[in-house]
Amino acid sequence: MIDDIIFSPVTVVEHSRPRVCSLPEKPYNPRVSDDLYRLRTFSITNKGGVVNCGDSICNRRSRSNTSVNSTNSRASDRSPFDGSCCSGYRPVDSSSLTTPDEDDLDPIPKYRVVLLGDAGVGKTALVSQFMTSEYMNTYDASLDDEFGEKSVSVLLDGEESELIFIDHPSTEMSVENCLSTYEPHACVVVYSVVAKSSFTRAAELLAYLAREQFTCDRTVVLVGNKADLARARQVTTNEGKALATSRDSKFIETSSGIQHNVDELLVGILKQIRLKESREKKQAKKIGKQDAKPSKLASSRTHISLSIARELLHKICINDISKSKSCENLHVL
């Protein structure tokens, strides 16, 4: 009886589609593509506070330092979730982007930052936090093997810059070799507030940078890390501030474990580099004007002498009180 049954073929509707998995086979990883990179965006309030505006995944071929409001700027590559808890990696459709010629792109300034300090003070953990707005378990021991060089792009005051953080163990490369090899724009000296010996080492490093006159031309920031471990603290905030003031350096206390002042440190480093770079340009411009007017050489020398005298008098009169107050402000020289 079964043989008498005729099976008719099932009619397949032409517009139907086969059931497939809607999820990608592999999670998106921006490191796989050389054209895509993470851009961290910050703003500074009128009171000097740092606001994290979220991270974006941008296309390097559309990278330019033109206005962020232009249609072809990196603003068009931003995620709609930027600045929220949902911000994160987002692939960009390169076909929807207008790719300008390489000659039309303004070069993105790159700044090298060397981290110095004893082992175990949290240098690598801080650098790992600099890379993303996402929370990371910075007490993970596996981070100790991730030293080396890491870069992060930061958009601040409408201008993009790339910071290259150099984190080598002192046993692998000495301070002298590190400075001569990388010629950094900034040095970040890190100590742990729960280890007095690391603070002593930080003082030695700052003394060396002062002897080499690095502090005069470049940015130096003293960082007291692990500030969340209050009960085990061995170095007070005033001690760290006093050391930074004595070496004409900036000072901040952070905690990579709870992300305290990590964004403030990242933005402060970039801000200090830009301020010193701007000051150098102004000084070079003044020198150029003086060279262009040889007939007024005597008056220009008198003006320079008066300016130096005013600076010395200002330092003597103000003493260390104002320096102590300003050493914690990373947004001014």
Q: Residue ranges of the domains in the chain?
A: 110-274
CA distances (Å), 62 to each of 41, 94, 96, in order?
Answer: 17, 9, 11
Higher pLDDT, 136 or 172: 172
| Least reliable range by pLDDT among 17-26, 218-227, 277-286 | 17-26
**Tokens standing for residue 171:** 């046993």
pLDDT tens for residues 273-311?
Answer: 999 999 998 888 888 776 666 555 455 555 555 665 565
User: Average pLDDT for residues 122-143, to the nearest whole number?
Assistant: 80
Output Rg (C-alpha) for the chain, integer angstroms.
Answer: 26
Is residue 77 predicted with pLDDT exceeding 50? Answer: no
As its CATH architecture, domain 110-274 has 3-Layer(aba) Sandwich (3.40)
CA distances (Å), 13 to each of 9, 18, 19, 22, 164, in order?
Answer: 13, 11, 14, 21, 57
| 74: nearest Cα among 49, 30, 41 | 41
> C-alpha 212: how far from its chain's center?
24
Under a CB-based contact definition with an 8 Å cutoff, are residues 255 and 261 in contact?
Answer: yes
Q: How far apart are CA 175 and CA 179, in angstroms?
A: 6
> C-alpha 328: how far from its chain's center?
17
pLDDT of residue 326: 84
Q: Give the helix/strand (H/E) hosting 167.
A: strand 159-167
Length of the chain, please?
333
3-class DSSP state for residue 295? helix
pLDDT of residue 310: 60
pLDDT of residue 88: 47
User: Average pLDDT for residues 158-171, to the nearest whole number?
Assistant: 93
Contact residues for 185 (Cβ-Cβ < 8 A; gap 6+): 111, 112, 113, 218, 219, 273, 277
pLDDT of residue 73: 43
35 — pLDDT class (breaks 50, 70, 90):
confident
Higher pLDDT, 100 or 108: 108
Q: What is the residue whose two structure tokens read 């060279």? A: 291
Q: How far apart are CA 118 and CA 315, in angstroms?
A: 32
pTM score, whole prediction:
0.72
Under a CB-based contact definition with an 8 Å cutoff, are residues 176 and 116 in contact?
Answer: no
pLDDT of residue 13: 53
Contact residues for 139 (Cβ-Cβ < 8 A; gap 6+): 125, 257
Per-state percent for the chain, helix, strand, coil, to nearest 5 = 40, 20, 40
211 — pLDDT class (breaks 50, 70, 90):
very high
Residue 261 — left, alpha, or beta (φ > 0 → left; ψ -120 to 50 → alpha)? left
Is residue 172 predicted with pLDDT exceeding 60? Answer: yes
CA distances (Å), 105 to each of 58, 108, 235, in order?
Answer: 15, 9, 48
Cα pseudo-dihedral 27, 31, 32, 38, rounded to 10: 80
pLDDT of residue 306: 60
Q: How far apart are CA 147 and CA 166, in angstroms?
A: 8
3-class DSSP state for residue 81? coil
